Amino acid sequence: MCIKHAPSNLRKSFQNVEKDLFKWFPGHMGKGLKQMQTKLRTVDCIIEVHDARIPLSGRNTDFKYKVSGIKPHILVMNKVDQIDPKFIPPITKKLQNECSNVVFTNCKNQKCKGVRSIFPLMQKLIDESNRYNRANEEDCCVMIIGIPNVGKSSLINALRNKFLRKGNAAPVGPVPGITRSVMNKIKICDKPLIYMLDTPGILTPNINDAETGLKLALCATIQDHFVGEDIIADYLLYWLNKQGVYSYKEVFQLQEHTDNILEVLTKICANKNKMLKIKDATNNSYVLKPNFVEAAAYMIQSFRNGSLGRLMLDEDIIEQK
Ligand SMILES: Nc1nc2c(ncn2[C@@H]2O[C@H](COP(=O)(O)OP(=O)(O)OP(=O)(O)O)[C@@H](O)[C@H]2O)c(=O)[nH]1
């Protein structure tokens, strides 16, 4: 079931998101894409990072045609710590048509096998390629691409920590848009000499349905205020109920599961003291009102920090034959 079949009030607000997202492609992203294309000649391999919670939704199709092209290509599904491991084989199978080099990583774990496996895979692919215009260069250069906030900089830092034993060189943050332009080369390894290029997160210019836009927002690849915390939280509740995931009942201390977002937000406001102090002009006193925006932000955060479980939002697409 997709959101075409959602209750009509939900469908309406979700469809407004679709209209807004169609128009949205910030200037720095267009500039970043051009910068990436001009640097293409100087790289030997492309690593595309994506969020394992949305393995099939929201990948930028422009990358395939305008960036990765003929260069060796590794597809990294990052934040694997946030999904149920049972999804790894079906995701891999589903992605195999597009890329035979799919690696799952958790960049927050120094010991992650996926992170370690990137290095030999990358070297093998570069050795097997004819390196085009770079055959005489001593160093190897790898460009990291992907939509915002999927962990591109974290991956560079994890590889650098592992193979060069040096501290972080690429800025990391919980909100999208931390890296704003194609950065200088970052050294990852001395022997062999390997550099990486961090790039700004670039969303696909065509988010072609509201549900994809809402999944992207839930995974923090689009800033919350752009879609609206209330709408993102409403979609989350819709998705949880649709999948029969009722962990939220316990997390938000509800008696029963519900499809009424106001009921959930009101409960969060009461339990987490998310209240607004509003001046009552008639008798010059203050009244407390529920702060639904903060409650919605709390609810979204509960998904992002894993309190609601290890959830993979493309579950129904993966299940389709
Ligand atoms: N749970 C989890 N969080 C991660 C992982 N990798 C990165 N993060 C977090 O995801 C957020 C985004 O990480 P960044 O490395 O800044 O992502 P980016 O793709 O470079 O972001 P932009 O510069 O906005 O394009 C940060 O809060 C990281 O701590 C991971 O494997 N697991």
DSSP string for 187-241: EEETTTTEEEE-------S---SHHHHHHHHHTTSS-HHHH-HHHHHHHHHHHHH
Largest CA distance in the chain: 81
Higher pLDDT, 4 or 142: 142
Q: What is the pLDDT of residue 110?
A: 86
Q: What is the pLDDT of residue 66?
A: 64
Position 5 scores a pLDDT of 59
Q: What is the pLDDT of residues 291-305, one digit of tens each?
A: 999 999 999 999 999
Residue 279 has what pLDDT?
85
pLDDT at 69 over 80: no
> 267: helix, coil or strand?
helix
Q: How many residues does the chain have?
A: 321
> Which pLDDT score is estimated for 289?
92
pLDDT at 93: 94
Which domains can be identified in the chain, with CATH numbers? Answer: 19-198 (3.40.50.300), 228-319 (1.10.1580)
User: ipTM value of the model?
Assistant: 0.98
CA 220 – ligand 1 centroid, Å: 10
| Measured distance CA(277)–CA(287) in Å, rounded | 6
**pLDDT per residue as tens digits for the range 188-225:** 998 889 999 988 888 876 677 889 989 999 999 988 98
**Ligand 1: which atom is nearest the Cα of residue 201?**
25
Q: Which residues contact 230 (CB under 8 A, 6 or more apart)?
A: 261, 265, 292, 293, 296
Distance 162 CA to ligand 1 centre (A): 17
Among protein residues, the one whose CA lies closest to atom 2 of ligand 1: 79
227 or 166: which leads in pLDDT: 227
pLDDT reported for residue 15: 66
CB 83 within 8 A of CB 53: yes
What is the structure's pLDDT at 303? 98
Take atom 1 of ligand 1 and give the residue whose Cα is closest. Answer: 79
pLDDT digits (tens, 9 = 90+) for 92-113: 999 988 888 999 999 999 899 9
Over residues 169-175, mean pLDDT? 73
Place of tokens 């590794």: 74
Which pairing describes strands 194-197 and 45-51: parallel, antiparallel, or unpaired? Answer: unpaired
What's the whole-number average pLDDT of the chain? Answer: 86
The ligand 1 atom at the shortest distance from the C-alpha of residue 180 is: 23
Q: Give the DSSP H/E element, type plus range, for residue 186.
A: strand 185-189
179, pLDDT greater than 70: no
pLDDT at 283 over 90: no
